[in-house]
Amino acid sequence: MDPVNDTPEPPRSCSGDLAVLKARLFRARATLVEQSPFLGSLVLKVPILITEDPRVETACVDGRGICYFGKTFLEALALPALRAVLLHEALHLALEAFPRCGSRRPLRWNVAHDFAINLLIEESSFGPDFLSIPEAFKPLLDSMFKGIAAEEIYDQLPNDLGEIGLGDGECVRDAIEAMDRAEKAALGKAILHDFSQDALKQEEWDLARRAAQRLPERLRGILPDAVPGCEGACLDRLRKLFPMGTAGGGAFGDLWFDAWTALTQAERDNLRESWRDKLLEAAEQALQGGKGIGSLPGWAQKLLGPLLNPQIPWQVKLAQKVHGHLQGRRRTFSRPGRRSHAVGAILPGPIKDRGPVGVFVDVSGSVGPAELGVFMGELVGILQNADLPVRLITWDAAVQEDLYMEHPEDMRAALHQGALALVGGGGTDPRCVIKHLEAPEAMDLQPLSFGVLLTDGYVPWPEASDWPFDLLVVCSGVLPDPTFGYDALMIDSGERHG
């Protein structure tokens, strides 16, 4: 009963002519590709082996990413059910069942993952004549787990997995997975000695009894120390559950998770990265037809979103956007571009706008000091490299201050010295900045080449075209609706994610 030290021998492929079964597998995968290029491509990336190994009663995948089909099970599957099983096993790998298991009990985790995956398949847009979960999988399909991650499902499973349809043998295995090493060793010794109390020391018997307590009571009965006089009936039940000779290490192991456990950390990382690459490849193939990510299943959109659109730190986005606006796209032949000599022709060079940069800070109280501090610190550093003057305007429902600063670092000095009035009089309306800039007394000032506006975003937005220059909006709360036409990004001070 000690934990398995060596990886169990993997199932072997069937011998003989398997042409018909292989043709059915090929047809099932090909038709999945036709109906859903993403899901079909995902299934095609899973190597399949047909076996007569008694450990493979239906179908499963192991920690190395190989899918096994029991020959008898495969022969009995109709095509819609075969598609569902192929997709089920591929999703185990695509949704990282093995690395996400962690220290959880393998059987119980596999059950939780089955519930989550079967719901994804059930919610697909295919009809039952194309995709149908087989009866052997349906006990692990329950709408009460809809929208819940496998980790949460795991925590909600009953102590006795027999309540959700698992057999007694699986329930025994689940109990064994909950035992520690000492309990397993004591139970193993008790099994070898046919549960004879005379053959065990008191400490060993106490450990064996504690191990038995982990079994569902309906299987083990009432333990001897609970009700005197029932030792015979209880021991008979334990002898039936653990007949002599079942104490070998691999008897209650998990072939599929043991394969994962046997891998080195580097091998696990490589397999995990490999499946992430396969997910991206499947998505790219599905999107080649001109459809967006919205055409993929909802779970795939959630999973692939960060991979297809990597999250870039807002500080990097701010620098990219500010530099992009400052560089501009206007070009002139009066200032030939740098590539003119290389190509042997005169190319137009960029016009470098030297006007001040407008920095418009919402001081209504909606932007906290943390957001203001990190924003101003980043912006000053970016503008210092551009060596442009700054026009700093603080506002709420009206403009509070309008300061011209020859050097961007003057903003930092003014902040540190408390020379800026960063508290407004109430209300929030960025349109006051536009009116202020268009006032007659402002017309004599050098026009701004670009503007950066900081707010929490809960403001009455004018159209982006109402501003007399390009504007970048930086929000600490909510981004403006895209219909307003703004170039905008979200700031994160780090305080809200503790």
88-124, pLDDT tens digit by residue? 999 999 888 888 888 899 899 999 999 999 888 888 7
| pLDDT given for residue 227 in this prediction | 39
Q: What is the pLDDT of residues 269-323, one digit of tens each?
A: 888 888 888 888 888 777 776 566 666 776 777 666 655 555 567 777 778 777 7
Tell me the whole-structure pTM to 2 decimals: 0.59
Report which of 263, 374, 224 is spatially closest to residue 314, judged by C-alpha positions: 374
pLDDT tens track for 205-230: 888 888 888 888 888 877 665 434 44
Q: Indicate the domain borders of the chain.
A: 19-157+264-285, 319-497
Distance CA 117, CA 122 (A): 9
SS (H, E, C) 118-174: HHHHHCCCCCCCCCCCCCCCHHHCCHHHCCCCHHHHHHHCCCCHHHHCCCHHHHHHH
Pick one of 2.60.120, 3.40.50, 3.40.30, 3.30.1330 as the CATH number of 319-497: 3.40.50
pLDDT value at position 81?
93
| Confidence grade of residue 416 (pLDDT, cut at 50, 70, 90) | low
- Residue 109 to residue 91: CA distance in whole angstroms: 15
Q: Is 456 helix (H, G, I), strand (E, B) or coil?
A: coil
